[in-house]
């Protein structure tokens, strides 16, 4: 999906167990699952907690773009 591409998740092997993903990949997958539910309100409490700066910036950039488009 476009969201998966924006979150840089398209390169994750579908056979990899979630427990073997990085914390950043896990958070991005959670965010993707929340957005695919198409709820009117989503609360993202500390979504970038304990993530590296690069991943935090990716998530912030994605959220800004997603909000702008939707």
Tens of pLDDT along 1-20? 677 777 888 888 888 888 99
First to last CA, the chain: 15
∠ CA 42-31-1, rounded to 5°:
115
Whether the model clears a pTM of 0.75, i.e. scores above it, the answer is no
What are 49's two structure tokens? 């907690």
Tens of pLDDT along 15-38? 888 899 888 888 888 888 888 887
**At 53, is the pLDDT very low, low, confident or very high (cuts 50, 70, 90)?**
very high
């Amino acid at each position: 999906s476009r969201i998966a591409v924006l979150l840089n998740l398209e390169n994750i092997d579908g056979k990899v167990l979630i427990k073997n993903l990085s914390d950043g990949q896990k958070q991005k997958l959670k965010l993707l699952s929340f957005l695919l539910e198409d709820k009117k309100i989503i609360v993202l409490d500390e979504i970038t907690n304990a993530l590296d700066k690069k991943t935090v910036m990716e998530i912030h950039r994605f959220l800004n773009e997603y909000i702008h488009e939707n």
